[in-house]
């Protein structure tokens, strides 16, 4: 099984879905250009032509309306928003139309569209280009929201999303495009709504999604050196939310830490804590802890952003706190001039 980047897994998932089904098209600003969208559409236009890999104007609301109409005549569009913020311009079409169609027509019609949205930090994106508003979409009945954290999951979940009969929001953290994992060749699927138990342990349950899962894995390795092992659950899908694995884990560990890429107040981490307190309150030994972004817009300068984003050390601290152990300032060794705002030292683009 080859090891490939997350970005290539997205591209391969698109290729396999388009090869298997002539009705699948890809549309978005820059998608015919191999250097755009992190290389996730590289070469598709050479295989499938300009009729199925389409450039679009800067008119997001109109284009979502057009692909919604196209989906009603048996076309399966995949639309790419290079920033999640651009999808905000099309919220009426997404929330008031696409999400409701299947329900309003008693299941007689459906809109099989996938809306890829890229979120997260990096390279001074700032307040208008680095938001993670996935909880907005998860709040809307009729929308599915998937947030894969590995290349393997990205390909399998993307194929499942394209084959789904109703709208799916497919959320990609930009830093994940440069991570790698084993990915099978060919067509395979991961069911929407299936969380993944990455590590098993007895001291605490840590729940994460998207890039937070990568931070949680790093935290688990630090904790393991201290003799602390955790259940680490990667949600993979936040709507519909399958909470059975979380409840079973908390029943065993009695402690819960939730990591999210969104802001703290009214964020998705609150939904996890609410579910556990409603359904497994008697199993909790400590109050759950949420790790999320502060309730202020994303800063642009390094001097501020270095102290804005949670780090693996925050998760380590939270688990230690659950166990009644001492911890230290997670930003203790961070300096204002440190260059932390890139996924790793090997990063070379494309932007």
- CA 275 – CA 282 distance, rounded (Å): 13
Instruction: Report the side by side order of strands in the sheet with 289-293.
Output: 196-199, 230-234, 204-208, 256-263, 289-293
Residue 129 a catalytic site member: yes
Residue 85 a catalytic site member: no
- 123, 43, 137: which is closest to 81 by C-alpha? 137
- 162, 165, 155: which is closest to 190 by C-alpha? 155
Tallying the residues shown for the chain, one arrives at: 351
Q: What is the DSSP letter of 98?
A: I
**CA atoms within 13 Å, Cβ hemisphere of 188:** 13
> 57 is written with which tokens?
């104007």
**At a CB cut-off of 8 Å and minimum separation 6, what does 7 contact?**
38, 39, 40, 177, 178
* Active-site position among 16, 102, 129, 173: 129
Judged by DSSP in three states, 233 sits in: strand
Neighbours of 243 (CB within 10 A): 20
3-state secondary structure 35-57: CCHHHCCCCHHHHHCCCCEECCC
Which residues are marked as active site? 60, 129
């Amino acid at each position: 099984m080859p090891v490939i980047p997350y970005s290539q897994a997205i591209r391969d998932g698109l290729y396999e879905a388009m090869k298997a089904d002539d009705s699948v098209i890809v549309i978005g600003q820059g998608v015919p250009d191999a250097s755009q969208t992190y290389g996730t559409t590289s070469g598709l236009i050479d295989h499938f032509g300009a009729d199925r890999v389409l450039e679009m104007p800067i008119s997001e609301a109109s284009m979502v309306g057009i692909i919604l109409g196209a989906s009603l005549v048996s076309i399966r569009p995949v639309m790419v928003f290079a920033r999640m913020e651009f999808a905000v311009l099309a919220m009426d079409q997404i929330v008031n139309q696409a999400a409701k169609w299947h329900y309003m027509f008693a299941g007689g019609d459906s809109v099989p569209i996938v809306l890829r949205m890229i979120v997260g930090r990096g390279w001074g994106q700032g307040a208008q280009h680095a938001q993670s508003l996935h909880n907005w979409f998860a709040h809307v009945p009729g929308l599915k929201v998937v947030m894969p954290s590995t290349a393997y999951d990205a390909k399998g979940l993307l194929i499942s999303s394209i084959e789904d009969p109703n709208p799916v929001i497919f959320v990609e953290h930009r830093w994940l495009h440069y991570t790698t994992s084993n990915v099978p060749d060919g067509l395979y699927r991961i069911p929407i709504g299936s969380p993944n138990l990455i590590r098993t342990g007895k001291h605490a349950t840590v729940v994460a999604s998207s890039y937070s899962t990568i931070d949680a894995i790093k935290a688990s390795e630090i904790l393991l050196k201290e003799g602390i092992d955790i259940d680490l659950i990667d949600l993979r899908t936040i709507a519909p939310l399958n909470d059975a694995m979380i409840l079973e884990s908390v029943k065993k560990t009695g402690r819960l830490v939730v990591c999210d890429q969104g802001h703290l107040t009214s964020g998705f981490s609150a939904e996890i804590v609410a579910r556990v307190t409603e359904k497994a309150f008697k199993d909790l030994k400590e109050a759950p802890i949420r790790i999320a972004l502060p309730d202020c817009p994303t800063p642009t300068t390094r001097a501020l952003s270095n102290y804005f984003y949670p780090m693996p050390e925050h998760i380590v601290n939270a688990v230690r706190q659950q166990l009644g152990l001492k911890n230290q300032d997670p930003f203790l060794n961070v300096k204002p001039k440190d260059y932390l705002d890139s996924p790793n030292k090997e990063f070379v683009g494309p932007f």
